């Protein structure tokens, strides 16, 4: 019997009604496209870094990254998602045993062959429990479903682990144009608006230098997944572009205790003809 992971935060982090959710996602994407212009003129991103709060807070920032790959529908066939395990202590990386993740916009099948390809790596465990209540990957799924269609996903929660094993997992799943990497992370948490801007600017500078090893959980809650991606990006000579850097004080919240959000696109070097 097929096992399906049900949404945990539909109706809280984002609308549960399909029509309302689709409308909200499209609105964020259209607004992002209006700001960024024609993303199709740039090389397709191989990876994106996106935030994962409630849509009213981080949706406009996440949309800047998803708008950059909106034209890849029909090209991207699977998305590898990495984010932090917020609700369970985890050593290593947890892959789901579930066969699909349900969303209000329709299910996304888990690429079981990709999960099987990780079976020989000691840092990867098969465990649905951390995925059950987790929001960091779930909030990406409506954006992916709306931009890329019914693609396959490889959802991975990253716990207490060094960058190199994360990089090893990413390299095994890297693939070609058919595979997109998504790393889900927020930035600083619960500082004043000005302090958050200062802290997040420093974190952004490290990300854009492809230097993730020095980032901690206080800089970015998904710092471990982020460090692994940046290690691969540096070794593969990926170019990184900042798409947005704001916080909840800029989007929908008060400015006394804010959460930082950023969006980046990473692109592989052009191959000479």
Convert the pLDDT of each residue in 204-242 to its tens digit: 999 999 999 999 999 999 999 999 999 999 999 999 999
Quick check: is 162 in a domain? yes
Helices (H), the chain: 18-36, 55-67, 112-117, 141-148, 163-173, 193-208, 223-235, 248-251
Quick check: is 50 in a domain? yes
Quick check: is 126 in a domain? yes
- How many degrees, rounded to 5, is the angle at CA 73 between CA 68 and CA 78? 95
Q: Does residue 180 register a pLDDT over 90? A: yes
> Can you tell me the distance from the alpha carbon of 50 to that of 184, in angstroms, rounded to the nearest whole number?
5
Q: What is the pLDDT of residue 37?
A: 65
Quick check: is 196 in a domain? no
Please give the biggest Cα pair distance in the chain. Answer: 53
> Can you tell me the distance from the alpha carbon of 169 to that of 114, in angstroms, rounded to the nearest whole number?
10
pLDDT above 70 as % of the chain = 97
Q: What is the pLDDT of residue 253?
A: 85
Q: Does residue 154 register a pLDDT over 70? A: yes
Q: What is the mean pLDDT of residues 160-169?
A: 97
Side-chain half-sphere of 37: how many Cα atoms within 13 Å?
Answer: 2
Quick check: is 231 in a domain? yes
Domain that holds residue 64: 42-87+104-172+224-259
Q: How would residue 111 be classed by pLDDT, with cut points 50, 70 and 90?
A: very high
Q: What is the pLDDT of residue 136?
A: 98
203, 227 Cβ separation under 8 angstroms: no
155, 81 Cβ separation under 8 angstroms: yes
* Strand 108-109 versus strand 258-267 pairing type: unpaired
> Can you tell me the distance from the alpha carbon of 14 to that of 262, in angstroms, rounded to the nearest whole number?
19
> Can you tell me the distance from the alpha carbon of 86 to that of 93, in angstroms, rounded to the nearest whole number?
13
Convert the pLDDT of each residue in 51-78 to its tens digit: 999 999 999 999 999 998 888 999 999 9
Q: What mean pLDDT, rounded, does the chain reach?
A: 95
What letter does residue 21 receive in the DSSP assignment? H
Q: What is the pLDDT of residue 270?
A: 73
Smallest Cα–Cα separation from 264: which of 176, 200, 193, 216? 200
Helices (H), 82-140: 112-117
Q: What is the pLDDT of residue 43?
A: 81
Q: What is the pLDDT of residue 38?
A: 54
Cα-based torsion angle of the residue sequence 63, 65, 67, 72 in order, rounded to the nearest 10 degrees: -140
Quick check: is 72 in a domain? yes
227 φ, ψ (degrees, to nearest 5):
-60, -40
16 φ, ψ (degrees, to nearest 5):
-90, -25
Task: Say how many domains are in the chain.
Answer: 1
CA 184 to chain centre: 3
Strand partners, 259: 189
Q: What is the pLDDT of residue 271?
A: 58
Quick check: is 10 in a domain? no
Quick check: is 269 in a domain? no
Sequence-separated (6 or more) residues with CB below 8 Å from residue 125: 92, 93, 94, 95
């Amino acid at each position: 019997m097929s096992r399906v992971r049900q949404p945990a935060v539909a109706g809280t982090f984002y609308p549960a009604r399909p029509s309302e959710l689709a409308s909200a996602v499209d609105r964020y994407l259209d607004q992002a496209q209006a700001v960024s212009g024609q993303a199709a003129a740039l090389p397709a991103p191989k990876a994106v870094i996106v935030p994962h709060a409630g849509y009213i807070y981080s949706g406009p920032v996440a949309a800047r990254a998803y708008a950059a790959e909106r034209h890849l529908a029909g090209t991207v066939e699977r998305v590898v998602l990495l984010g932090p395990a917020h609700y369970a202590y985890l050593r290593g990386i947890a892959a789901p045993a579930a066969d699909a993740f349900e969303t209000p916009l329709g299910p996304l099948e888990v690429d079981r062959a990709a999960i099987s390809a990780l079976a020989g790596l000691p840092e990867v465990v098969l465990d649905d429990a951390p995925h059950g209540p987790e929001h960091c990957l779930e909030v990406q799924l409506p954006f992916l479903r709306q931009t890329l269609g019914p693609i396959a996903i490889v959802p991975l929660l990253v716990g207490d682990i060094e960058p190199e094993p994360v990089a090893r997992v990413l390299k095994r799943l890297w693939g070609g144009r058919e595979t997109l990497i998504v790393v889900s992370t927020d930035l600083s948490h619960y500082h004043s608006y000005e302090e958050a801007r200062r802290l997040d600017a420093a974190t952004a500078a490290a990300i854009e230098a492809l230097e993730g090893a020095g980032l901690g959980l206080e800089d970015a809650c998904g710092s471990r997944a982020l460090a692994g991606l940046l290690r691969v990006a540096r070794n593969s000579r990926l170019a990184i572009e900042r798409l947005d850097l704001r916080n909840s004080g800029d989007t929908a919240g008060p400015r006394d205790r804010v959460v930082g959000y950023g969006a980046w696109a990473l692109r592989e070097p052009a191959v000479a003809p």
